[in-house]
Amino acid sequence: MAGSRFYGTGGRVLYRRTATMSKSMNYNMAGGTSTMLKSGHKTFEGLEEAIIKNIEAAKAISTMVSSSLGPNGMNKLVVNHIGKIIVTSDCATLIKELEVAHPAAQMLSLASQMQDQELGDATNLTVSFAGELLKLAEELLHSGLHTSEIIAGYKTAFDRTIEVLPSLVCHTVENPRDSEQLIHAIKPVIMSKQYGYENLLAPLIARACLTVMPDAESGRKPSVNADAVRVVKLIGGNVEQSSVIRGMLLARSVEGTITKVDAAKITVFGCGLESESTETAGTVLIRNAEDMLQYNRSEEKALEEVISAIAATGTNVVVSGGSISEMALHYLEKYNMMAVKCMSKWDLRRLCAATGATALVRLGAATPEEMGAARKVFVKEFGAKKVTVFEQNPDDEAPVASIILRSSVVSVINDLERACDDGIACVKHLCRQPQFTPGAGATEIELATQLKALADKTDSLDQYAIRKFGEAFEVVPRTLGENAGMDSTTLMSQLYTAHQAGEKNVGVDVEKKCPGDMTQQGIVDLLSIKESAIRLAVDAAITVLRVDQIIMSKPAGGPKAPAQR
């Protein structure tokens, strides 16, 4: 019966359909959850269907990126959805470009992205360590431990890790304004990404960061605004030709013939420099050639009045966020003003911050408060590429530095940019917390040694999860050794022997292919970055372990369109 009929007021016949309601109320207990939900839903529950499958997805993404860990990490070639080819070993870039669909793997992806946004480095450690925690949790589940017991053990081990980490500090940057100390801190970050370029890039990054750092005379604490250090990629030449300038650089030449201005007074327009069009459509009746000439003269006169008013303010450099017409360029040349076009809104805002200007949305003269200033604006050639440089005064309140990278290979220059971003992030965070721990797996092996000792003292079932938590730290030195072509079994045995003997700073020496003291070689990691990576990895792993059921609704959208013949 499709519906039931009943009579209402006024003799009207009303119908109430009851088929759908009766069907929804008829819950089939034997059918399980699938009969409760709409058709198209999928449910997975239990150990094998939900927990183990989540762990396998997390293991897959961690295995994918772990081979890119360290200075000898392998590159991945990714072709994204628009056909762009990306060759890199940077974990943050790989995770961003991969279209991860599995919800458990997405949790590790989100943890990596958060680490990249907040700290700017150690994204590979986050994913690799979380994947290893879940891999060892799978062994505990098959051994008979309950998920809650594993989570409790992991939390106990994590609390112990946070307590132990400050005791492993081996180096502290006493003066962040010292160039040599900054270079010493930046080099390990560059080596983990672009091994062999650390002696070239580290001084450039240190110089750029010191340029934007407040002076000691100002009374302010050392700090670095990452947005104040810009990395500009210029294709061509080689990496040794990279340099740093104080000020802003636009990767294009000027529009007119004036290529150099000293003591520049700058007016910035967010709009284009051209004759204004009327808001409403109009009709102009031109009867003869004289009317045509008169009409053109009126347009020219109006534009000249605007540009002469701009020149009267003392402006000698005009920056436009839109197009510059030929007529406007003619009058700019007539009044000896340099014309620069900046089509990127992001670069336009950065330029305003560097020069102290305000971007005008109207075409007209700027007030003295809206104008900016620069020590010098000039065109400089890098190979066949011409760029415009806005050089700042030494006493500017908002200093900006630009790192100019050169390379003939697109994938190389992109990786160099990522390495520079990681180095800038390192300087930014060491200004807040300047403590460093030994790198190259030394910290991880020491933590594993102490956690295994804690597990031996624990009487409850937590001891198994604590021991596995310590074993998970082995993924870092083991992967470093495998990527360097070393025997991981022998390497791990030697590392444990050294740390049990009290040598806390011994890690993996990838050059000599044997254990070595990392502090003597200057291989250190920032404590705050390592602590954040471990915290995010543990949070992601525990979140995945807490899931015992997956409910997936039917994807939105209709059927696929038929193939076109």
Predicted TM-score of the model (pTM): 0.77
Residue 21 reports pLDDT greater than 50? no
- The secondary structure of residue 50, as a DSSP letter, is I
Mean pLDDT of 310-316: 89
- Tens digit of pLDDT for each residue in 76-87? 888 877 788 888
- Tens digit of pLDDT for each residue in 488-519? 888 888 888 888 888 888 888 888 888 888 88
Tell me phi and psi for residue 79, to 5 degrees.
-110, 110
Ranking 89-93, 132-136, 549-553 by mean pLDDT, the lowest is: 549-553
What is the spatial distance between Cα 112 and Cα 178, in angstroms, rounded to a whole number? 31
Predicted pLDDT of residue 47:
62
Q: Under 8 Å CB-to-CB from 517, ≥6 apart: which residues?
A: 503, 505, 506
Mean pLDDT of 100-121: 83
Q: Which domains does the chain have, with CATH numbers?
A: 46-170+438-552 (1.10.560.10), 241-407 (3.50.7.10)
Q: Which among 337, 280, 282, 341 is positioned nearest to 306, based on CA atoms?
A: 337
Residue 7 reports pLDDT greater than 60? no
- Tens digit of pLDDT for each residue in 234-290? 888 888 888 888 888 888 888 888 888 888 898 998 888 876 655 556 676 777 777
What is the spatial distance between Cα 198 and Cα 200, in angstroms, rounded to a whole number? 5
Residue 13 reports pLDDT greater than 50? no
Look at residue 222 and give its three-state secondary structure.
Answer: coil
Predicted pLDDT of residue 501:
86
- Round the average pLDDT of the chain to a whole number and report it: 82
pLDDT band (50, 70, 90) for residue 2: very low
Mean pLDDT of 8-27: 48
pLDDT band (50, 70, 90) for residue 29: low
Are 147 and 174 in contact by the 8 Å Cβ rule? The answer is no
Burial (CB count within 10 angstroms: exposed 0-12, middle 13-18, buried 19+), residue 329: buried
Predicted pLDDT of residue 538:
92
H helices within 26-177, ranges in order? 46, 52-66, 91-97, 103-118, 123-143, 147-164
Residue 551 reports pLDDT greater than 80? no
Are 409 and 238 in contact by the 8 Å Cβ rule? The answer is no
Percentage of residues in the chain with pLDDT exceeding 70? 85
